[in-house]
Structure 1
Amino acid sequence: MEDKSFELQPRFMSNEIVDSIIIKTFNHCISNNVKEFLFAFHGGEPLLQKPDFFKYFVNKCKSIFSNKVTIFFTIQTNGTLITKEIASLFNDLEIQIGISIDGIREINDENRLYKNNKSSFDDVLLGIKNAFDFKFHKNTLGILSVINLENNPLEFYDFLKEIKIKNFDLLFPYNSYDNLPKSYKVNDINHTPYADWLIKLFNIWYLDSNIDRPNIRMFNGFIECFFGGEYPNDLFGNYKNGLLVIETNGDIEAVDYLKACGQNFTKTDLNILKNEISDSINSELINLYYHSHNKLNSKCNQCNVKEICGGGNLVSRYSKTNGFDNASFLCSDFLKLILFIQNITYSNLPKDLLDENNIEISSFEKEHLIINSLSNKQYDKYLTSFKSIKS
């Protein structure tokens, strides 16, 4: 979108930066009693790096971390460069592969063409096939798709099963109030296109009784939250966001999707060569991102599902007028989707368990009316309909 800062950065990360990342991450883990840590290779396209980069990074980590901290590795790639050799290397290094693909050829080609405008679709499928030749990837490979409302949910789901995907997740487009999705109507209770699409997909997935039903992280994440668990990434939930970005030049920044808010938006004066990991919390933006599910707009604080929603992803709250002091422009979509999945989940529980935990089934219209009409004082008196069953 607006941010073009990548044009001024090195295309590749040097071993000096790598060494500093690994050593300072290890020191941070030891100082803060962190027992497990995940390194994610991201981009751009991280497979433009040579195989020796990944060998060096993983082996350096193993030598530094030893058995004191359990470390994991993952890579998010467009999949076009996953040769059998790369798949074999990542199998040996135990680097979990995530592949970005948005659906069938026509849908994927909307935003994932090569620079010469040729389709990348066949090469992505070949990359998936190459990865599936190895047991580690067969069990762990995941697909990540940006929601495209032109995608037929049933056709999309059948495609996932056809390519034998076990692990799958969905992303909302990284838009803000200043750059809304085409034809999107903010604050219109009757306009919830993303919720409507996801509810159709949820119903297909939920009613699929076959043993090969994929794990859809968004849906399972919401269900986990309803029983007191933690949402599995930074898009929802009420836990702290522990993700930090180190750019190719060593700059320490907040999560990369915030670049959609403006030029140099995520830039700080922090760099891994001169700063410690813990210095990052002094950055106003990084601090906000870290606490973003608890630092909510007043409208969000009136909402019964705020512990599940957490205000949604931070970029969807941003406007140049109010900064992040907004409810997400996707608020109605989030509310409708969460209530639908929650009601389906709770409706399958025994009535006495619901009564014992003071849980009632509510409606989207009722909750939307409460959020948008009651003052904070009135809302405090309103008996909450939603609470997690902690046992």
Structure 2
Amino acid sequence: MQPRRISKAVIAQTAARIAEHAHAHRIPAVHLILHGGEPLLAGADHIAHTVRAIKQALGPGVRLDVSLQSNGLRLDETYLRLFDELGVRVGLSLDGDAEGHDRHRRRGDGRGSHAAVTAALDLLTGRYRHLYAGLLCTVELRNDPLATYEALLRSAPPRIDFLLPHGNWETPPPGLPAAGDGTPYADWLIPVFDRWYAAPRQETEVRLFADILRLLLGGRSSGEVVGLGPARMVVIETDGAIEQSDTLKSAYPGAPTTGFHVSRDTFDAVLRHPAVMARQLGRGALAAECQSCPVVRVCGGGLYAHRYRPGSGFGNPSVYCHDLFRLITHIRGVVERDVAALLEGRR
């Protein structure tokens, strides 16, 4: 059982490790993400202490970019004034309109949280809009995709992250058969892509779509959902344990564990951990069927946690393999159509 809140001693150790790594490798900027659970439960003073301690440890030569992901229920003027002072950008979790959001995001007494989240969103997008990082939305197949997207657009978010529900070959995501057949998640996302892509101007960045487009055009992904880029983050638990991405908790208990701790281990030591090294190998670490797939450079095998199968570990295609293939080939077809039309127009 982890402590509910990180202690000041662990904060100091974490700050020292971050500064040690940044200075040793001459890293010009560090991105700190305050996550949870719900990070606002730590309290304003504790959050302020954390950010200031890490800034002080890094010193003036390294920029610290701080973001916080919240469910919004405790976000108020006091927090926003503090985040304005500290330069903390805020992302909120919102799953669409009231009906869609309240399917899963409910208070302890069973009441839906949509009204409270949208009130916090109104506060954030008023005079604190410069702190607004965007929205995180988990795909729910029972929600209408276009109605969900339109609901998210109402606050003019700078970015939307559509997240696929965590699942794997042992515990498939909702609505996906155990065999991984069918493409229900691609079928949900494709209408949203078409709506987003056809907009007369860019209304927002949809991270998944933008990453696929960048990869199709020879660029890099900004995250780990698609693409062959190496894992670029570690998680510091409230007890100071250094772990891999917390998404791995969806595979099996202890999956993110490395055995390292900020009190005694460097981040360089973590990078030499076999499980972490495996996530730096790109295409070479993928299952054989992935390596021969025509969209492997774009798909990248999907999110690491979604590849898990008892007996073979993470050496499998994503449980979303068919969905990712359909989504990527649809987007590729749209790009090829537009490039062909552009070339035809130049003749």
Give TM-score, length-normalised by structure 1.
0.83
1:327 matches 2:330? no
Q: CA deviation at 1:348?
A: 1.4
Does 1:204 find its partner at 2:204? no
Partner of residue 65 from structure 1, selected from 42, 54, 58:
58
Deviations 1:363-389 (A, max 9, x none): xxxxxxxxxxxxxxxxxxxxxxxxxxx
**SS at the partner of 1:239?**
coil
Which residue in the other structure is 1:31 paired with?
Answer: 24
Larger radius of gyration: 1
- The amino acid across from 1:21 in the alignment is T
1:82-231 matches, within 5 Å, as 82-135=75-128, 137-138=129-130, 140-185=132-177, 191-210=182-201, 213-231=203-221
Distance 1:183 1:141 in 2: 30
User: What is the DSSP-based 3-state SS (H/G/I as helix, E as strand, rest coil) of the residue aligned with 1:17?
Assistant: helix
Amino acid paired to 1:155: A
How far, CA to CA, are the matches of 1:244 and 1:60 in structure 2?
Answer: 19
| 4+ long deviations beyond 3 Å | 137-140, 186-189, 289-294, 350-354
- Bigger Cα displacement from structure 2, 252-261 vs 126-135: 126-135
Deviation readout 1:60-119 (Å, 9 max, x if unpaired): 222222222121001111111110111121122111111111111121112111112111
The alignment-based identity, stated in percent, is: 26
CA RMSD of aligned residues (A): 2.0
Q: C-alpha deviations, 1:216-271, integer Å up to 9, x for none?
A: 11111111112221111111111111110010000011100101111222223211
Question: Secondary structure at 1:209's aligned position in 2?
Answer: coil
Which residue type is aligned with residue 347 of structure 1?
R
The answer as to whether partners of 2:141 and 2:175 remain within 8 angstroms in 1 is no
Instruction: Tell me which amino acid in the other structure corresponds to 2:278.
Output: L
Segments of 5+ residues of structure 2 without an aligned counterpart are none
- 1: CA distance, partners of 2:335 / 2:200: 16
Shift of 1:350: 4.6
CA contact (8 A) 1:168 1:214 kept: yes
| Count of residue pairs brought into register by the alignment | 344
Name the residue aligned to 1:80.
Answer: 73
User: Residues of 1 paired with 2:222 and 2:50: CA distance?
Assistant: 25
User: Aligned partners of 1:233 and 1:263: how far apart in 2?
Assistant: 24
1:4 is matched with none
What secondary structure is seen at the aligned counterpart in 1 of 2:103? coil
Residue identity in the other structure for 2:88: I
Contact 2:125 2:132 survives alignment (8 Å)? no
The one-letter code of the counterpart of 1:326 is N
Do residues 245 (structure 1) and 235 (structure 2) align?
yes
Give SS of 2:253's match: coil
Give the whole-Å Cα distance in 2 for the aligned partners of 1:293 and 1:47: 38
Displacement after TM superposition at 1:153 (Å): 1.6
Contact 1:195/1:333 (8 A) holds in 2 = yes
Matched residue, 2:303:
313
